[in-house]
Amino acid sequence: MLNHMKVLIIGGDNRYLEVIKILTLRQASVFVAGYEHMTFEHPNITHCVLTEVNFSKIDAILLPVPGTDINGEVEATYSNEIIKLTKDMLEKTPEHCVIYTGITNTYLDNLGAKTNRTVLPLFKRDDIAIYNSMPTAEATLQLAIEETDVTIHGSNVMIVGFGRIGITLARYFSAIGANVTITARNPAHFARAQEMGLNAIPTGRIEEAIIDMDICINTVPFLIINSDVIANMGTSSLIIDLASKPGGTDFDYASKQGIKAIHALGLPGKTAPKTAGNIIGEVLVTLLMEIDNGKQ
């Protein structure tokens, strides 16, 4: 149980409603900022405004999956207010306070360094990333079906990047009969692709291989589907970019070429929020128990 833990949740989307439920079931005291549009009846949940929070009592802070922007502002689905996490706030927290976020950025990393607080990006963990890859792959498959006028079976699909999400994507698309080609740099990834019956090419060969592709799915968080790659794509091709902002696609050039390119952010939160929230919540409980044990 987490009855000694006080957790501040700042912003978030519908995934976090499940996280809040899980934390309260474990008897944690949950303070929510950025949820003015929601009503909670559980006695362990307290609505708050950040400027009124007693940060000296907060054991952990949970930020949305995207974390903050470069100015420290936080996305809050259930609020119209601008919410910002600042250095002054963190300096008031106990030394053991951990800031959990889906992904981190320069602002958060600098904030953690300046306040000597741990910033832990949850989506860098193998367990969360692999669990989360399943609803991501399902949602991507659904999007591909909706946005194309041919069957996925028999389509030529390129998956750029063969990490934790890329592997699951390849498995899902291959299972329904797509001709899947993955791109990779790591020799172990080529071996895994061969074991899975997939085609594999070096990342540097995307530009030439893209010519035959009906669908290109990018998982790499830097510009890799650039103008040279897009110029070789057919106008009926579809790009689905899953990488965090700003993505790995030249969206402006794709639009000029008449190629549909979708920056599909936060898919699990849109199509399977309960499952996605449960994944985050259960792992968070384990991490919070470690903090609680360290306090005692």
- Same domain for 166 and 235: yes
Residues 66 and 174 in one domain: no
Contact between 144 and 152 (Cβ < 8 Å): yes
Same domain, 66 and 163: no
The model's pLDDT over 32-76, given as tens digits with 9 standing for 90+, comes to 999 999 999 999 999 999 989 999 999 999 999 999 999 999 999
Residues 104 and 135 occupy one common structural domain: no
8 Å CB contact between 144 and 215: yes
150 and 63, same structural domain?
no
Residue 245 has pLDDT above 90, yes or no: no
Lowest mean pLDDT among 32-36, 39-43, 257-261, 289-293: 289-293
Do 153 and 56 lie in one domain? The reply is no
The structure tokens listed for 118 are: 């741990």
Contact 182, 151 (CB under 8 A): no
Q: CA 260, CA 265: separation in Å to the nearest integer?
A: 16
58 in Cβ contact with 6 (< 8 Å): yes
Q: What does the pLDDT look like over 206-239, one tens digit per residue?
A: 999 999 999 999 999 999 999 999 999 999 999 9
Same domain, 16 and 109: yes
pLDDT at 70: 93
Name the residue type at position 134: M
**pLDDT at residue 296, as a whole number:** 55
- pTM of the entire predicted model: 0.88
Domain that includes residue 202, residue range: 128-265
Average pLDDT over residues 143-170: 97
Instruction: Please check whether residue 1 lies inside any domain of the structure.
Output: no
The 10s digit of each residue's pLDDT in 68-124 is: 999 999 999 999 999 999 999 999 999 999 999 999 999 999 999 999 999 999 999
User: Residues 101, 140: one domain?
Assistant: no
Residues 110, 42: one domain? yes
Please report, for the domain that includes residue 94, its CATH number: 3.40.50.720
pLDDT at 160 over 80: yes
- Identity of residue 193: A
Q: Quick one: 19 and 80 in the same domain?
A: yes
Report the number of distinct structural domains present in the chain: 2
The pLDDT, as a whole number, for residue 294 is 66
Residues 133, 246, single domain; the answer is yes
Q: What is the rounded CA–CA span in Å between residue 259 and residue 251?
A: 9
Q: Is the residue at 244 inside a domain?
A: yes
* Helix, strand, coil abundance in the chain, percent, nearest 5: 45, 20, 35
